[in-house]
């Protein structure tokens, strides 16, 4: 087997920061009263309302640059190291004209260190927590759309979405927005229940490629990559549900139009979907996937999903930074992916995850 490394992807997701622009964790009294009350009432669901603590922020500043340096050494000039951030930087969003200080911290402090370490590209998405209007969305249902607009106006999330980011002849990314932030229903389903729905950057806005408002049509208008290139879709909510019970299947695990999205992704030859939102690693460690045979429904045959855990909140056994080493089998025209987890949980142990994607077909 003749494997050629051609890229390394470092995924950050669900940081849930409650910090100032320097990365200092804000004191509890700076949370809105409604959020503090909701956290107390949430009981076992309070993890979904948690934010990163000072030690977690320190881990980001220490572990992510170390991981990047390791990947730069591994790829050794054969391709780029790419950082993708798939949403929920902020724990509670922002209200009114307040700055998005979690994003400010990434872009002013963490990202410059990663570029200095050799990162070639950094790609950002937003999640449902990023557009919370400073508190639980049901308390301010109109405020979410204002937050989406301000993310764009502040330069953190330039439109349009969906959009294509081309890295090289071998690799491109399609950015998909799954955060439903429109009105009362968006506040209930997207903000409170945590479910997703494919939308443009702003619901109802005309999209440039299709000259229409349908985000699925805009995805199709992107078109297929050249033969033999890997196309990756980035989104916050994973289309393939996993490890869920019936309540989760109706709420936090749900992407309401996953079937339609996966059909559109198939039309433009997406082979790999990277997502977050669930605070869980999927597929689980110590497993393997065959890209030709295994199915992550409703994704179509020949495409698979990888979901990263949060490095700062949630179950310690799922905390970490996911690193995907992409290697191409020139003879078979398939991609193999080795995942490495830089753990940031209670034991703070780094490990090479035996998880491996084999035989992911190229178009």
What are the pLDDT digits (tens) for 132-183?
887 777 677 777 778 888 888 888 988 899 999 999 999 999 999 999 877 6
pLDDT of residue 25: 86
Q: What is the pLDDT of residues 241-300, one digit of tens each?
A: 988 776 666 567 788 899 999 999 999 999 999 999 999 999 988 888 999 899 999 999
Q: d(Cα 211, Cα 159) in Å, to the nearest integer?
A: 14
What integer pLDDT is reported at residue 2 of this predicted model? 83
pLDDT of 336:
95
Structure-block tokens of residue 65:
């640059």
Give all strands (DSSP E) within the chain, no chain letters.
3-12, 81-86, 121-125, 163-166, 171-175, 230-234, 272-275, 288-290, 304-307, 320-329, 334-343, 350-361
Q: What is the pLDDT of residues 66-105, one digit of tens each?
A: 999 999 999 999 999 999 999 999 988 887 788 899 999 9
- What are 246's two structure tokens? 């019936």
Q: Measured between alpha carbons, how far is 65 from 67 in angstroms, rounded to an integer? A: 5
Helix (H, G, I), strand (E, B) or coil at 286: coil
- On whether the CB atoms of residues 274 and 308 are closer than 8 A, the answer is yes
Q: What does the alpha-carbon distance between residue 242 and residue 246 come to, in Å, rounded to a whole number? A: 11
Q: Is the pLDDT of residue 214 over 70?
A: yes
Counting beta carbons within 10 angstroms of the beta carbon of residue 54, is it exposed (0 to 12), middle (13 to 18) or buried (19 or more)?
Answer: exposed
CA of residue 330 relative to chain centroid, distance: 29
* pLDDT tens for each residue of 179-201: 987 766 666 666 666 778 898 88
H or E segment at 258?
helix 258-267
β-sheet with 230-234: strand ranges across: 163-166, 171-175, 230-234, 272-275, 304-307
pLDDT of 223 over the 70 cut: yes
Q: Return the pLDDT at 168.
A: 94
Mark 256-265 as b/e (b = at least 16 C-beta within 10 Å).
bbbebbbbbb
Q: Hey, what are 176's tokens?
A: 């998909």
Is pLDDT above 90 for 348? no
- Cα angle 247-250-253, degrees, rounded to a multiple of 5: 90
């Amino acid at each position: 087997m003749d494997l050629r490394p051609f890229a390394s992807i470092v995924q950050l997701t669900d940081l849930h920061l409650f910090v100032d622009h320097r990365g200092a964790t804000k004191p509890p009294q700076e949370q809105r009263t409604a959020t503090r009350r909701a956290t107390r009432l949430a009981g076992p669901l309070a993890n979904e309302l948690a934010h990163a603590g000072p030690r977690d922020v320190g881990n980001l500043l220490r572990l992510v640059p170390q991981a990047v340096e390791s990947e730069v050494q591994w790829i050794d000039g054969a391709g780029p190291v790419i950082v993708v951030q798939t949403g929920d930087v902020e724990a509670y969003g922002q209200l009114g004209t307040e700055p998005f200080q979690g994003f400010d911290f990434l872009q002013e402090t963490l990202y410059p260190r990663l570029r200095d370490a050799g990162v070639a590209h950094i790609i950002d998405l937003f999640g449902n927590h990023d557009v919370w209007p400073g508190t639980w969305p049901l308390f301010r249902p109109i405020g979410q759309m204002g937050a989406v607009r301000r993310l764009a106006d502040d330069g953190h999330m330039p439109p349009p979405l969906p959009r294509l980011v081309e890295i090289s002849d071998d690799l491109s990314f399609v950015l998909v927005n799954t955060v439903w932030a429109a009105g009362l229903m968006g506040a209930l389903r997207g903000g409170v229940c945590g479910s997703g729905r494919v939308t443009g950057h702003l619901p109802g806005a005309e999209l440039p490629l299709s000259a229409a408002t349908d985000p699925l049509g805009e995805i199709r208008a992107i078109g297929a990559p050249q033969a033999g290139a890997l196309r990756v879709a980035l989104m916050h909510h994973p289309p393939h549900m996993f490890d869920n019970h019936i309540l989760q299947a109706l709420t936090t695990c749900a992407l309401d139009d996953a079937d339609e999205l996966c059909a559109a992704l198939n039309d433009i030859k997406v082979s790999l979907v990277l997502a977050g939102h669930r605070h869980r690693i999927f597929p689980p460690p110590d497993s393997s996937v065959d890209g030709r045979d295994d199915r992550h429904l409703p994704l179509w045959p020949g495409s698979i999903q990888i979901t990263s855990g949060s490095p700062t909140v949630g179950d310690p056994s799922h905390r970490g930074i996911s690193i995907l080493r992409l290697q191409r089998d020139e003879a078979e025209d398939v991609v193999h992916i080795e995942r490495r987890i830089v753990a940031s949980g209670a034991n703070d142990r780094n490990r090479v995850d035996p998880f491996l994607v084999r035989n992911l077909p190229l178009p």
